Amino acid sequence: MKTPKLGRIVLYILLGLFVILSLLPLWSCVVTALKTSKEVILTTPVTPPSHPTLAPLIESLNYLKRPLTNSLVLVGSGIMVSCFFGSILGYVFSKRRFRGSTLLLILVILCLYIPPQVQLIPMVQTMSKMRLHGNLGSLVLLYMLFGIPMCTFIFKTLYDEVPDSFINAAKVDGAGTWTIYRRIMLPLSVIPFVVAALLQITVIWNDYIWGLVLTVGKANLPVTVAMANLRGSFVAEWNLQMAGALWVALPTLIIFMFLGKYIMRGYAGM
């Protein structure tokens, strides 16, 4: 066996420290969620609970039930609509280019870079005119539309990898644009659909600002906004907040654990 070099040892110690540092918030979140209100005040956020209790977790879940469902609805509808349009647009931009299509693609991608802050007021005005302001419908519509540029971009880059000869062969064999999409492109789209869906899930699930601005009343709130309301009116109920944060983070955490590599592909545009 080779004795490890000094440099290696230092590296591992450093890496270990970084791991502890980055896991510390999660740790304190978990331990705080398991404490009673009294113990939260008496102990530091990193000490383990002496009498662990599930009460905060149950209480926060009860409070978050409706918002969790709301967020699921948002994610579900958002994914379906943006992926559908993203896939068709990606196909057109990748395999069915026309005069001006590059310019259009650039415009679509530019939409990704408009900060939400500048859209807040016009969006609230538009939604009120459409009588959607305040209810969940406004968010459903918003996420459906806002997801399309990102999905288009993902589908376009992944469709670029499909050889043009597939398209040409199908054309010569008699297939029209729509048939080629349905028979050739769509069946080859499992990975782009997974990648686009995962990115949309994380974006929609973690979004806070649009939910805060566009929805009113607990029945309409997405989970991130509702979680912020857990902070308590007179005293900071840290244990409830941490328990709520765990519930909110759980779905994305599970997704990242199992499907993280697809999200990496999405960000890398591969």
Q: Write each residue from 129 to 168 as x if it is in contact with other proteins (CB under 8 A), else as -, in one continuous string.
A: ----------------------------------x-xx-x
Residues 177-206 that bind other proteins (CB under 8 A): 179, 183-184, 187-188
- Distance between CA 201 and CA 204 in Å, rounded? 5
Nearest residue (CB) to other proteins, 8 versus 183: 183
- The count of residues interacting with other proteins (CB under 8 A) is 17
Q: How far is the CB of 182 from other proteins (least distance, A)?
A: 11
Q: How far is the CB of 163 from other proteins (least distance, A)?
A: 6
Q: How far is the CB of 259 from other proteins (least distance, A)?
A: 21
First to last CA, the chain: 40
| 173 binds other proteins per the rule CB under 8 A | yes
Which range touches other proteins (CB under 8 A), out of 77-85, 121-129, 173-181, 240-248?
A: 173-181
Q: How far is the CB of 175 from other proteins (least distance, A)?
A: 5
What phi and psi, each to the nearest 5 degrees, are found at residue 215?
A: -115, 150
| 44 binds other proteins per the rule CB under 8 A | no
Chain positions contacting other proteins, by CB under 8 A? 163, 165-166, 168-176, 179, 183-184, 187-188
